[in-house]
Structure 1
Amino acid sequence: MIKRIIRILLQIFPRPVLIRMSLLINRVVAIFLVGNKVECPVCGGHFRKFLPYGYTKATGRDNCLCPKCLSLERHRLMWLYFNKETDFFSKNLKVLHIAPEQCFYKRFKALANLDYTTADLESPIADVHFDVQEIPFAEETYDVVICNHVMEHVTDDAKAMNEIYRVLKPNGFAILQVPMDTDNPNTMEDPNVTDPKEREKLYRQKDHVRLYGLDYGDRLSAVGFNVVARKYAQELDTDLAEKYRLPMDEIFYFNQK
């Protein structure tokens, strides 16, 4: 029942509305899931299980959404990567976060070492609003750009990647995770596919314009990034990965200028 309710809410309400709704209900829901079987490394919450999540029956999955901070598997993986593999939480960095995730927003904004700016087309928690294909900032402005699960919505993803590369400082890095079919070597896209139902069938969501394959790293390299691809969850302790409910097959791309 919970899975169906979440799926309906995701289908009906636009993301800005969902963000506002989540602020009101997530802490209430968390009370009913108190336990110690799973843990969220982002907020430190312990629960008997996470909530289900997914836009459709095909993409829906159980035990993945933190009821306290709303992190998903990919968010928890990125948090661990930043902690263990980068100086994101300690070095003075100028950061641009495009389409800021609810679970990161307040935590990143509170970090004294970050000069942190959020951006989006329409999100109510964004500081500035723009199209990622035309970023209104000067070249070499940011040390870090975060832009997760955005490229699959963008008409010209190469242009968006070039814009992100442009505003990065030399040696800066970008985290640009996307939904991916790891069984397909090639990205699937067709500009003639415009029907929402057909897009949902082909690309997993009605507002996606492509489904990336294993050539995603090549697309990132093509704009100039030095790309390091790792199945990072598989490098971590197995019991810990299970407790955090990490995406074991997700390829994590670290993209450096």
Structure 2
Amino acid sequence: MMGFTKFSLKEKHREYRKWRKEKLFKGDVVHCTICNSNYREFGIFGNTKRKNAQCHNCGSLERHRLVWKYIQDNELINEPMRLLHFAPEKVFYNLFSDILEIEYFPCDLFPHVYNYKGKTKIMEVDITKIPFDDNSFDFILCNHVLEHIPHDQLAMSELFRVMRPGGFGIFQVPIDYNREATYEDFSITTEKGRLKAFGRRDHVRWYGKDYKDRLANVGFEVKEDDFVNTFSKEEQFKYGFDTSEKIYHCRKPYNRK
């Protein structure tokens, strides 16, 4: 064992587990839209043990593969652009860091938790007080972030402010479509209480059908796109999509500053 650090052993163990999973799930039934890997089935993931959820190669989940397929099919990245990315998932961080047309700004309130060792620095940014000028970004990706933010309307206003007129964003959140209105109760402050009320210990609300209106209230033109249901049931399984997730594609009108 001489010459091996604790970190290198951990990396070797991770690579072995990845190799084992790829061998176990070898096949061509499912296809990852991000890394283009094929398997018999995606892996199980989450507290509720979702089947066909996690890619064995890149680690992408259902929402990542759906958003990337949406970006690709709609040719949303087709020219030089400035991209602001909150809570940067590793699969997207790797993609955006390598696209030459993108001036990439990954950020989070706690950047030290991201140990990606990539070439692009992850900046410390509070989404309710974004330290960039008005009209700075062509594309903003905010994927399952706003449900953690107590002052989400302030965060949405800040996202609107720093987006350039004609720019766009994809702002995904968990939504309970059985609720007409978003449910939040800020008297619930314990992790146990939030888990019971909102489904996760670190969530502060359940968004309802009014999510689109909450975004529109700060000025966005919002397209609630049922993109996932443009695919057949067989294709939805093939790509490992969450069939209940709609895409929230937001634009800042040209007449707004």
Q: TM-score, structure 1 length as denominator?
A: 0.86
In structure 1, runs of 5+ residues without a counterpart are 1-19
In the alignment, the residues of structure 1 paired with residue 237 and residue 168 of structure 2 have an alpha-carbon distance, to the nearest angstrom, of: 28
2:186 to 188, 191, 196: 191
Aligned to 1:33: 25
User: Where do 1:68-79 residues align within 5 Å?
Assistant: 68-79=57-68
Aligned to 1:173: 168
In the alignment, the residues of structure 1 paired with residue 226 and residue 197 of structure 2 have an alpha-carbon distance, to the nearest angstrom, of: 25
Residue by residue over 1:103-124, the C-alpha shift from the partner in whole angstroms, topping out at 9 and shown as x without a partner, is: 1111111011111110012232
In structure 2, runs of 5+ residues without a counterpart are 1-9, 253-257
1:81 to 57, 65, 70: 70
- Aligned-pair CA distance for 1:150: 0.5
- Aligned-pair CA distance for 1:60: 3.2
In the alignment, the residues of structure 2 paired with residue 65 and residue 129 of structure 1 have an alpha-carbon distance, to the nearest angstrom, of: 28
SS in 2 for 1:176: strand
User: Structure 1 residues 105, 30: closer, same or farther in 2, change over 3 A?
Assistant: farther
User: Where do 1:61-210 residues align within 5 Å?
Assistant: 61-88=50-77, 90-123=78-111, 124=114, 125=116, 127-210=122-205
SS in 1 for 2:172: coil
Name the Cα RMSD after superposition. Answer: 1.8
User: Structure 1 residues 96, 24: closer, same or farther in 2, change over 3 A?
Assistant: farther
* Residues 32, 38 of structure 2: 8 Å contact kept: yes
Aligned-residue sequence identity (percent) comes to: 36
Partner AA of 1:73 in structure 2? E
- The higher radius of gyration belongs to 2
Partner AA of 1:99 in structure 2? A
In the alignment, the residues of structure 2 paired with residue 136 and residue 237 of structure 1 have an alpha-carbon distance, to the nearest angstrom, of: 43
- Aligned-pair CA distance for 1:235: 1.1
Range moving further from structure 2, 238-247 or 26-35: 26-35
In the alignment, the residues of structure 2 paired with residue 121 and residue 60 of structure 1 have an alpha-carbon distance, to the nearest angstrom, of: 29
In the alignment, the residues of structure 2 paired with residue 131 and residue 34 of structure 1 have an alpha-carbon distance, to the nearest angstrom, of: 42
Residue by residue over 1:177-199, the C-alpha shift from the partner in whole angstroms, topping out at 9 and shown as x without a partner, is: 00111111111110001121121
Aligned to 1:50: 42
Partner AA of 1:208 in structure 2? H
Q: TM-score, structure 2 length as denominator?
A: 0.86
